[in-house]
Amino acid sequence: MELSRRELIQLLLGAPALASVLSPGCHPPPRLPAAGQLLGQSLEVGHRLRDGFQPQPDVGSWQDLPVVIVGGGVSGLSAAWRFRQRGFNDFVVLELEPDPGGTVRSGTCSLCKFPWGAHYVPAPLPEHHLLIQLLADMGVVESTADDGTPVIAEQFLCREPEERLFFGGEWIDGLYPATGASPDDLAQLDAFRREVDRWVEWRDSAGRRAFAVPSRLSSDDSQVTHLDQDSVAEWLRRQGWNSPRLHWLVDYSCRDDYGLSAEQTSAWAGLFYFAARQRTAGSGHQPLITWPEGNSPLISHLLQNLGTSVRTGAAVTQIRPVGPPSRSAVPAPAAGARPTRISPAAQNSPAAPDSVEVVWYDTQTREAAGIRARHVIFAAPQFLAPRLIADFTQRTGRQTDLFRYGSWFVANLHLQDRPREGRVPLSWDNVIHDSRSLGYVVATHQTGLDHGPTVLTWYCPLCDEESRDAREKLLQASWADLADVVLTDLERAHPEIRQLTTRLDVFRWGHAMVQPIPGFRTSRQRQAAAVPDGRIHFAHSDLSGIALFEEAFDHGCRAADEVLEAFA
Amino acid sequence: MSHDSMNRAPLVLLYLNVLVIATCGLVYELLAGTLASYLLGDTVTQFSLVIGIYLSAMGAGAWLSRLVVGQVARCFVEIELGVALLGGFSAPILFATFAWASLFQPVLYGLVFAIGVLVGLELPLLMRLLREQLDFEDLVSRVLTFDYIGALLASLLFPMFLVPRLGLIRTSLLCGLLNAAVALWGTYLLRPLLPRRVLPGLRGRACLVLGMLCIALLKADRMTELAEEGVLGDPIVHAETTAFQRIVLTRNSRGFQLYLNGHLQFNSVDEYRYHEALVHPPLSAAMTPRRVLVLGGGDGLALREILRYPSIEAVTLVDIDPGMTTLAERFPPLLELSQAALRDPRVTVVNNDAFVWTGRSGGGGGPFDAAIIDFPDPGSFAIGKLYTRRFYRMLREHLAPGALVSVQCTSPLVAPQTFWCIVSTMESAGFHVRPYHAAVPTFGEWGFALASMEPVPQQIRISPEVVSALRFLNDDVLNGLFSLPPDLNRIKTEINQLNNQAIVRYYDQEWNAWR
Ligand SMILES: Cc1cc2nc3c(=O)[nH]c(=O)nc-3n(C[C@H](O)[C@H](O)[C@H](O)COP(=O)(O)OP(=O)(O)OC[C@H]3O[C@@H](n4cnc5c(N)ncnc54)[C@H](O)[C@@H]3O)c2cc1C
């Protein structure tokens, strides 16, 4: 059975949003924009793989190449960037989608570009040298201040006004629901900020920060890792903080960064959000770097000069370590497709693997090809490792069941004109308090276009503990149903939104990002995931347990360094 | 109701009608006179002309009344409706014609004459209707008494209540409504004298006119906020809300004032001081300016000063609001004030956000020898971005080597942090900056900045071709503008950047404290 409008709204936006929906009865069907469609990742190959699809390349279509990078998201492209930076060019990136970028994705219309996925990166702290270098290459970091902090060119920093909150029937400045806050609420907010400041200044015996970016550099002192045991909501309560406003702020932050509620997010991850992107006590959150189209310019830059080293529409279907080929097997035996899953080389080599075979499937031509590589960087989501890497679990003894993923809905609304403004003007980030959605960012904000048509990008993670069944149904909801939910959400703050919207597209992210639930960060499973499996190296934001650009970038660079060390 | 009272009541009511008719009639005349003197200036001539035409038209109406034989009552109602329509819409019609056509004077006098004729017809017809019930002496004395009371009422209400509280457009529509009400009411009062079959038609038309006037009154509310005239102090001669801002032009006996979103942009009385100070320091310092950029300044007044330089080959003016540049190009008083600068063939108008335009590299008529930056004060984030370091850096890309730039910088006395923030921000973008000031009586003490990527000249000589045309500046005065009194001493401020918009905060605090 399909979900009713009310069920859909409740699932996506939460109970408070329901109050605004008319009571049951006959109503005219709600007005929808004239145009729009439902978009998503390419599911076909993934589903076929799950059903045992295992194409075999012709013997003649094998190729030798020192390195294959599987996945052209931030982590895979960062590995490629790092290779080139270190003067190594003998690699190929295989990416399943028609466009590289993974969860960084954007669209274009005649007015402006707009994001479909990741849309900001906080300005790096001075310690993150490689990221600073990348940003300097792009002209985003324009100089270094006397105290060593990178100076970001102002046009890349989020422009004021940055954020506002729709609370109690009106827009207010900032994200804290301050209207009507009691002295106790404010005291708790203050105490929370002081606690964050304490963590910002905290150092372990080795001088490491409690929460660092990349998270790999964070302290593993038990004081810090202990935080991973509980949810951040529970942690707040344990500090004696029960202010609903404070809980809302923390809950919003977790939904925004991780797609999880505060009850579902580990306190480690919750505090990471606040403390890792702050330089010193009282210095406040690092300013945000953003572009109208979200993080896509980072992808374009990583892609620069890569040329044919990136193959898109190339779905990797199998990765298998193989030993040295026996003399008779070089070159590969005569033509004739082999029905077996074992390559000629693997069959004949009892010795330790000295290379890795990567089978990939061209989603355009629908033909398979193979690459024999010395090393592979696996930069695809971790849950795919057992599906793609031959005998992964048997060989490594690793499980991946703790890697859980949330789904997200992202909508882009094309408006012919802006909603009416009150005292607090349209900001970059516009959040609605009584909603499980994250509100919207304004694509024209960074361009300086402050009047007339614009594009709003609406984000909504699915984080309530709905049944699997409901979630499946949600992912099957039609465009019309989803468009209506988006408009119902925004209508509360902008009653005229349906009249203003000329087009509304919705993007469904099935496996949008890994979930830092309590215990995951400190789990053996996660900690082991970055350890190479022989010649297969791992890079992906999943390995950090938090889906952030900086993490993906760091893992990509680290994996590239690992490979180069192995070659040395 | 007894037969007796049915005869009595209408009589009193008919006198009331006379009062209303007389009041409205005079209001239309005063309206036309006021409007003509606002829009055309020359109060004495305009008032004399309007009164003369109106009175003679009334005479013509009175004379024409003899042509009405039969169906007097019906004619009376129809004429009332005519007055309601013409008189009621007179002010909106006149404003509209003034803004968009050169036919203003013919339309004005034609309208005055037509209303006069109709009003002139009213009383004779009414008297003929009342003739049956009263003897002649009584009739004349009573009708004329009410007529004159109405005139007195109008002449008191008009300046004391109607214009200051309602504004010209609403006053006109309101009187129209009263006339239409009299007409509708007349169909009941005069029912015994009206043929049955015309009744429904008459009432229908009366309702239609009432409806039209009501709608116009509601629209007028959206066109001009009731309070706006009260706040601005002077009568509004043009008001429109474009996609970008609210543009209001007011007029008083001394001149025009332009308001954008309620902020005074200039007063025609002393705008020359402001625009001479804004334009001549950079243009004269640039020696032979050929290509000039104007950012903001859609009123065309800075352009007027720029075009005084014979060396000018091309001027690009970038103003976000086509509503503003079109108004300046078409609205006669503005056109006259700017000496039709916007129509000069050397001028190219670009309607775009200056931030977006400046961000596009190349094209657009550059590189420029001088740039005049005339934005509204930085009271909002949308405007604050035009005072950021990023903006000044983008501007550099459009300047020829050694080009000079001037910027209007709000009042250094009221808003010193805002003023010095602009100076510091420009310096941080690599400019050499010399701040200066000028007294512009309607604004007060006003601030500017002269900037260049090269050191700014210490002595500026106004080009000889220009100096004789100026009313405010000569060489001594111009160079004197750069010496700032001690109460304008420099203070330290933040640099205004897109991501802090410090200037919007400064401006808010400083002007709020002043008000
Ligand atoms: C809606 C949304 C908003 C986000 N907002 C932000 C944000 O504002 N800031 C931020 O830092 N992060 C944000 N993130 C997270 C961000 O996307 C990640 O931090 C980062 O981009 C992840 O990069 P990755 O390389 O680790 O993974 P991915 O982006 O998942 O890249 C993996 C790539 O592998 C490819 N692949 C998978 N299977 C195969 C196969 N079999 N063969 C070949 N290729 C394959 C995929 O197509 C994909 O391109 C957001 C994510 C989402 C979904």
- Domains of chain B, earliest start first: 3-229 (1.20.1250), 232-265 (2.30.140.10), 269-514 (3.40.50.150)
Check A451 against B380: CB less than 8 A apart.
no
Question: Which CATH number fits the domain that encloses residue A365?
Answer: 3.50.50.60
Give the minimum alpha-carbon distance from A244 to chain B in angstroms, rounded to a whole number: 30
Helix then strand count (H, E) for chain B reads 20, 11
Cross-chain Cβ contact A425/B380 below 8 Å: yes
Pocket test for ligand 1, best of A103, A216, A389, A555 (most atoms within 8 A of CB): A103
Instruction: For residue A359, list its beta bridge partners.
Output: A318, A370
Residue A154 lies in a domain: no
For B65-98, give the DSSP string: GGG--S-HHHHHHHHHHHHHHHHHTHHHHHHHHH
Ligand 1 within 6 A of CB of A553: no
Instruction: Name the DSSP class of A521.
Output: T
**More confident: A216 or B14:** A216
Residues 6+ apart with CB under 8 A from B513: none
Q: Which amino acid is at A441?
A: V
Q: How many domains in chain A?
A: 1
CA distance A430 to chain B (A): 16
Whether residue A143 lies inside any domain: the answer is no
Report pLDDT digits (tens) over B168-211. Answer: 788 899 999 999 998 998 888 888 888 888 889 999 999 999 99
Q: Can you tell me which atom of ligand 1 is nearest the CA of A317?
A: 41
Residue nearest to atom 1 of ligand 1 (CA): A117
Return the residue matching tokens 């100026």.
B470
Query: Among the atoms of ligand 1, which is closest to the Cα of residue A552?
Result: 26
Q: Given this model, what pLDDT does residue B241 score?
A: 83
> Ligand 1 pocket, A79 CB below 6 A?
no
- The whole domain housing A345 covers 44-104+296-400+517-566
Q: In this structure, are residues A362 and A368 in contact, taking their beta carbons and an 8 Å threshold?
A: yes
Contact B371, B403 (CB under 8 A): yes
Tell me which residue has tokens 């026996």: A326
Instruction: Report how far ligand 1's centroid is from the alpha carbon of A381 (Å).
Output: 8
What average pLDDT score do residues B458-476 get?
A: 94
Determine, yes or no, domain membership for A54. Answer: yes
A144 occurs within a structural domain: no
Taking CA atoms, what residue in A is nearest to B382?
A: A450
Q: Which residue has the tokens 């994705």?
A: A105
CA angle A273, A277, A279 (to 5 degrees): 140
Nearest neighbour of B499 by CB, restricted to A157, A417, A447: A157
Contact status of A154 with chain B (Cβ, < 8 Å): yes
CA B125 to chain centroid? 40
b/e map B257-282, b = 16+ CB within 10 Å: bbbbeeeebbbbebbbbbbbbbbbbb
What average pLDDT does the segment B441-467 reach? 94
Residue among A153, A448, A452 minimizing CB distance to B355 = A448
B103, pLDDT greater than 60 = yes
Find chain B residues with C-beta within 8 A of A151's C-beta.
none
Could you tell me if residue A537 is inside a domain? yes
Alpha-carbon distance of A298 to A130, in angstroms, equals 14
Instruction: Collect all residues with Cβ–Cβ distance below 8 Å to B396 and sequence separation of at least 6.
Output: B429, B430, B431, B453
**CA–CA gap between residue A540 and residue A559 (Å, rounded):** 10
For residue A315 and ligand 1, the question of a CB distance below 6 A is answered with: yes
A161 inside domain: no
Contacts of A449 in chain B (CB under 8 A): 353, 356
Cβ–Cβ of B499/A451 closer than 8 Å?
no
Asked if residue B41 has pLDDT above 80, the reply is: no
Amino acid (one-letter) located at B376: P
Q: Which residues contact B292 (CB under 8 A, 6 or more apart)?
A: B283, B306, B312, B314, B315, B316, B368, B369, B370, B371, B372
Per-residue pLDDT of chain A (568 residues), as tens digits, is: 577 888 888 888 887 777 666 555 445 667 899 999 999 988 887 788 778 888 899 988 999 999 999 999 999 999 999 999 999 999 999 999 999 999 999 999 999 999 999 999 999 999 999 999 999 999 999 999 988 899 999 999 999 999 999 999 999 999 999 999 999 999 999 999 999 999 999 999 999 999 999 999 999 999 999 999 999 999 999 999 999 999 999 999 999 999 999 999 999 999 999 999 999 999 989 999 999 999 999 999 999 989 899 999 999 999 999 987 654 444 444 444 444 444 444 444 456 789 999 999 999 999 999 999 999 999 999 999 999 999 999 999 999 999 999 899 999 999 999 999 888 999 999 999 999 999 999 999 999 999 999 999 999 998 866 667 767 777 788 999 999 999 999 999 999 999 999 999 999 998 899 999 999 999 999 999 999 999 999 999 999 999 999 999 999 999 999 999 999 8
Q: Which residues pair with A350 in a beta bridge?
A: none
Decide if A451 and B353 are in contact by the 8 Å CB cutoff.
Answer: yes
Contact A497, A485 (CB under 8 A): no
The structure tokens listed for A159 are 């422009």
pLDDT confidence band for B332 (50 / 70 / 90): confident
Residue B500: CB atoms within 10 A of its CB come to: 18
Using the CB atoms, write b or e for A100-118: b if 16+ within 10 Å. bbbbbbbbeeebbbbbbbb
Q: Residue A440: CB partners within 8 Å, gap ≥ 6?
A: A413, A429, A430, A456, A457, A458, A459, A490
Q: Per this entry, what is the length of chain B?
A: 515
Shortest alpha-carbon distance between residue A154 and chain B (Å): 6
Let me know if B353 is a catalytic residue. no
% of residues, chain B, pLDDT over 90: 57
Task: Return residues 389-418 of A near B (CB < 8 Å).
Answer: 417
Answer yes or no: is pLDDT of B326 > 70. Answer: yes
Q: Distance between the two ends of chain A, CA-based, in angstroms?
A: 59
Question: Which range is most confident: A77-81, B77-81, B138-142, B440-444?
Answer: A77-81
Chain B: give the shortest CA distance to residue A31, in Å. Answer: 25
Contact (CB, 8 A) for A280 and A200: yes
Q: How far apart are CA B450 and CA B457, in angstroms?
A: 10
Residue A155 to residue B390, Cβ atoms within 8 A:
yes
**Secondary structure string (H, E, C) spanning B407-431:** EECCCCCCCHHHHHHHHHHHHHCCC
Interface TM-score (ipTM) > 0.95: no
**Mean pLDDT, residues B354-374 taken together:** 88
Chain B contact present for A423, CB below 8 A: no
Whether residue A277 is contained in a domain is answered as no
From the CB of A379, is ligand 1 less than 6 Å away? yes
Residue B329 has pLDDT above 70, yes or no: yes
Count the alpha carbons within 13 Å of B474 in the hemisphere toward its beta carbon.
2
| Residue A493, domain member (yes or no) | no
Ligand 1, atom 35: closest residue by C-alpha:
A71
Nearest to B87 by CA among B39, B26, B46, B36: B26
Which candidate in B356, B499, B500, B501 is best for mutational testing of the A interface (most A CBs within 10 A)? B499
pLDDT at B230: 53
pTM, two decimals, is: 0.82
Cβ neighbourhood burial of A281 (10 Å; 0-12, 13-18, 19+): middle
Q: From CA B75, how far away is CA B80, in angstroms rounded?
A: 9
- Using an 8 Å Cβ cutoff, are A552 and A215 in contact? no
pLDDT (tens digit per residue) in B86-99: 999 998 888 777 65
Per-residue pLDDT, averaged over B261-287, amounts to 93
CA distance B164 to chain A (A): 29
Ligand 1 mean position, distance from CA A90 (Å): 24
- Residues on chain A touching B389 (C-beta within 8 angstroms): 154
pLDDT at site B94: 81
The catalytic residue among B234, B270, B374, B377 is: B374
What is the H or E stretch that residue A347 is in?
helix A344-347
